Structure 1
């Protein structure tokens, strides 16, 4: 089990919720729903890939989603500063 990468959800969910509802601040409710949606999507993806390959932990899927999202945020932030 990889419980550590699921922590990406706690960092990514408020950022995604803020961009989704286009508000200056983040509400706890929208961040909680976004976190739940991210974990459900990661679990569903892990179940789909398990039918073709061997079982993939949900933590690995969230780590991939979170890593790609944070790289996007870094690139976007660097581009905005230039």
Structure 2
């Protein structure tokens, strides 16, 4: 993925998060959807902007840490609802 495509992807995901948050999406499903979009954005940043697509083992390591963190945050969101 090129830097331009990554930037466009990040913009689209940000718009999606904003639309979900602004136009009345409420409840746990909206929270999980917004967190999922944030997770995807973080993966794009790690792979393209930090260059981890060129270092697969480092990318997997950072991806696992990110996955554990996001699953924990999603669990807290479900527990709080």
Q: Please confirm whether the aligned pair reaches a TM-score higher than 0.5, indicating the same fold.
A: no
Query: Could you tell me the TM-score, scaled by structure 1's length?
Result: 0.39
| Higher helix proportion (structure 1 or 2) | 2
Query: Could you tell me the TM-score, scaled by structure 2's length?
Result: 0.40
